[in-house]
Amino acid sequence: MLSIFDGLRDVSIASVALRMTLAVICGGVIGIEREYKRRPAGFRTHILICLGAAMTTLTSQYLYLFLGQYTDMARLGAQVVAGIGFIGAGTIIVTRRQRVKGLTTAAGLWAAAIIGLALGGGFYEGGLFATFLILIAELFFSRVEYRMLKNAPEVNLYVEYSDNKTMDILLQEFREHGLKILNMGIIHSQSNEQHNACAIFALRLHKGLDVDQLQQEICATAGVVSVREL
């Protein structure tokens, strides 16, 4: 542990002020990145969660040290860890393309609460280092994740089309691109219905083929109504 924080491990006016200030700073730094990307929970939300968690730990220590209530000091903090899930769940949505968004924001809120608990308990090194690593994960690892998804060897596509001839054309295009169909499911429209037929393809891509470019080519095929990645 760093000796610079040794005099601030005990609960005092100075240590309380430092813990709450660091909770605001660390929560705000994480929240700025989310705010910049226009996520549901941004700057103020992360600050409030981190600060509230820090106050929870401080309250537990105050009850134990100053009021003589000899209870489990970790009990209040455990409720924060469990309760933050309700807030995080509110940031998770399913888009019209059937993609789940908000998981990173929800995880960031949960991590901000843990950082607040650590800072509130006087574990300054852990809280500051965790904040640094979270920023690294959100700012730099996101680029790595994007490249991995862009170069993924397999993709699932949902295609709506108007007639059976369109399906024959699509299969021919897949062969021309050298794509391997791993799985395929088709839902045919009834003759008396106005709905389009649809198909779900599980495709194995080869290197050099961009998924977005493939979707554009499929969408430009005659008879294809829409296409999206699942």
Look-up of token digits 């495709």: 203
Cα separation, 54 vs 134, whole angstroms? 18
HSE-up (13 A, CA, CB side) for residue 63? 14
Q: What angle do CA 180, 208, 159 make, to 5 degrees?
A: 50
| Whole-number CA gyration radius for the chain | 26
Cα separation, 159 vs 193, whole angstroms? 18
SS3 content of the chain, % helix, strand, coil (to 5): 60, 15, 25
Pairing, β 180-187 against β 197-204: antiparallel
Q: Which helix (H) or strand (E) holds 65?
A: helix 43-65
Tens of pLDDT, residue by residue, the chain (230 residues): 667 777 777 778 888 889 899 999 998 988 888 887 777 677 888 888 899 999 888 888 888 777 777 767 777 788 887 888 777 777 777 655 556 677 788 888 888 999 999 998 888 888 999 999 988 888 887 777 667 666 667 788 888 888 778 888 888 888 887 888 888 888 766 555 556 788 888 888 777 677 777 888 888 888 888 888 77
Q: Please give the pLDDT value at position 115.
A: 92
Cα separation, 214 vs 151, whole angstroms? 13
HSE-up (13 A, CA, CB side) for residue 136? 6
Domains of the chain, first to last: 3-148 (no CATH), 152-229 (3.30.70.1150)
- Distance set, CA 77 to CA 57, 58, 61, 80, 111 (Å): 6, 10, 11, 5, 13
Cα separation, 46 vs 27, whole angstroms? 5
Task: Give the distance, in angstroms, between the CA of residue 135 and the centroid of all CA atoms in the same chain.
Answer: 13
Q: What angle do CA 23, 26, 32 make, to 5 degrees?
A: 130
Q: What is the 3-state secondary structure (H, E, C) of 16-56?
A: HHHHHHHHHHHHHHHHHHHHHCCCCCCHHHHHHHHHHHHHH
